[in-house]
Structure 1
Amino acid sequence: MSGAVRIEVEADPTPLVLSLARVLRESAAVPELRDLLTGLTGTVALRSQLDAQAATLLFAEGGVDIHHGVDEGVEAIPLVPYSDYALAATPDELASAVQTLLNPPVPAWRDAASSFWAANHGSTGFPEGLRVVCQTEEEEIRFGEDAPAYEVHGPADALAAVFSGRGETFLFAIATGVTVVGSVAHLSAMCGAHWKVRFGV
């Protein structure tokens, strides 16, 4: 199939709707996942177990429409808390395919950090410089001005995850082994930057 895959959201989408759309766009960029997405037909509803958010995904004609809430007659599948995005066990084949689509490959930490910087540098409050240190590879990458630079240290998989918008918040990354060096004001800006990437806005 050529051309962009249709992934549409409602006019005033909730955070869950935005994050689902963002991750499906990532999957649409992977050839085998693109083929899976464009071949699906049917409806799946997902419900958060951490808050009141829910979303319905309607697959048809090679694309998907996503809106908040659960459509009448559809049984919502719970999202496993603190996961991106694991679904509660279900024998439903469509739901299994959706779970595959909601878990595309995570980019390499360098690529994720570069995209994170490109999406956020110049934003109000965002650090003028960023130093990312990968502890497992003993390598680092710098963006912007050398000083003052906000520093993010961690293992490769944790860096890749946080800079590509995985996890509920930037602070969640600290529980996965990421450490930061910088001001509280910049930490707040990094949290906002993470949400910008996570929600694809």
Structure 2
Amino acid sequence: MQTTTSPPAPVTGDARVVIDDTGDARVVIDDDATPIVRLLGRTLRDSFRTGHAVDALERLSGSVAVRSHNTPQAATVVVGDGAATVTGGVTGGTDAALVVDLDSRVAVVASDGDPLLAEAVRQALYPQPPAWRDAAARFWDLTRGIRGIPDVLVAVALGPDGPEEAHFGAGPDTYRIVGSADQLAGVFTGADYLLSALEHGLRVQGTLSQLSVMTAASWKVRFDV
């Protein structure tokens, strides 16, 4: 679902506007953003782009503190008029608070404060992954210019009907990633760390040098850098 809303007010100082694929300014993050700010900003951008949880965000406004469940990382998400601003740290009071597992697709561990606002932001921070082929195609478009990236990316989805393959690029240098459709979508969208996914059953075929480059590509997509 696509929605039409007014963009957030112009931002001054050390912040930058992230433009989604429809051309609307929907997410604003710190210019010198910390990893948690970049991760939350990218996740919210995915939600706005796909229309996930946007209805609730258009009806509500307020600020939500988001804290990592196992690290000191924290950020503040301010929503209103179908847009969001993400800044590093938490200063002063907020309308709601979420404690999240950043390594598990920003899954909420605990919440407090305004229940409707907390739930709306929780949903927006947990968008449904796209089809694995679409995720792989977008990953390739975003990362193909990285120095040392393999000529060809082969994604293999394992399912009950057997493996399905998708090929991107052309040339002799090939890198293969094999896993379930959900694992592939998670890595290709940046929802999951590549190295963490390897610990949970994802498989790759390539050189250590290629793994290093693909890890960098995974971070680029995850943190929108």
Q: Give the AA of the match of 1:132.
A: A
Distance 1:47 1:89, change over 3 A: closer
Q: TM-score, normalised by structure 2?
A: 0.82
Report the 3-state secondary structure (helix = DSSP H, G, I; strand = E; otherwise coil) of the residue aligned with 2:65: strand
Query: For residue 89 of structure 2, what is the aligned residue in structure 1?
Result: 69
Gaps of at least 5 residues in structure 2 are: 6-23
Q: 2:183 aligns with which of 158, 162, 182?
A: 158
In 1, Cα distance between equivalents of 2:105 and 2:123: 11
Distance 1:47 1:112, change over 3 A: same
Q: Determine if the alignment matches structure 1 residue 173 to structure 2 residue 197.
A: yes
Contact preservation (8 Å) 1:122, 1:128: no
How far 1:6 sits from its partner (Å)? Answer: 2.5
Q: Determine if the alignment matches structure 1 residue 17 to structure 2 residue 42.
A: no
Q: Determine if the alignment matches structure 1 residue 200 to structure 2 residue 224.
A: yes
Q: TM-score, normalised by structure 1?
A: 0.91
In 2, Cα distance between equivalents of 1:28 and 1:183: 37
Q: Give the AA of the match of 1:69.
A: G
Query: For residue 108 of structure 1, what is the aligned residue in structure 2?
Result: 131
Report the 3-state secondary structure (helix = DSSP H, G, I; strand = E; otherwise coil) of the residue aligned with 2:217: helix
Whose relative contact order is higher, 1 or 2, with alpha carbons under 8 Å and at least 6 apart?
1
Q: Determine if the alignment matches structure 1 residue 2 to structure 2 residue 27.
A: no
Q: Give the AA of the match of 1:182.
A: G
Contact preservation (8 Å) 1:70, 1:76: no
Query: For residue 141 of structure 1, what is the aligned residue in structure 2?
Result: 166
Residue-by-residue CA offset, 1:105-141 (whole Å, 9 max, x unaligned):
1011111111111111131121111111112141111
Q: Give the AA of the match of 2:199.
A: A
Report the 3-state secondary structure (helix = DSSP H, G, I; strand = E; otherwise coil) of the residue aligned with 1:93: helix
Gaps of at least 5 residues in structure 1 are: none
Q: Determine if the alignment matches structure 1 residue 191 to structure 2 residue 212.
A: no
Report the 3-state secondary structure (helix = DSSP H, G, I; strand = E; otherwise coil) of the residue aligned with 1:9: strand
Q: Once structures 1 and 2 are overlaid, which stretch shifts more, 187-196 or 83-92?
A: 83-92
In 2, Cα distance between equivalents of 1:76 and 1:89: 8
Query: For residue 73 of structure 2, what is the aligned residue in structure 1?
Result: 53
In 1, Cα distance between equivalents of 2:165 and 2:52: 32
How far 1:81 sits from its partner (Å)? Answer: 5.5
Query: How high is the sequence identity, in percent, across the aligned residues?
Result: 39
Contact preservation (8 Å) 1:5, 1:38: no
Report the 3-state secondary structure (helix = DSSP H, G, I; strand = E; otherwise coil) of the residue aligned with 2:53: helix
Report the 3-state secondary structure (helix = DSSP H, G, I; strand = E; otherwise coil) of the residue aligned with 2:110: coil
Query: For residue 84 of structure 1, what is the aligned residue in structure 2?
Result: 105
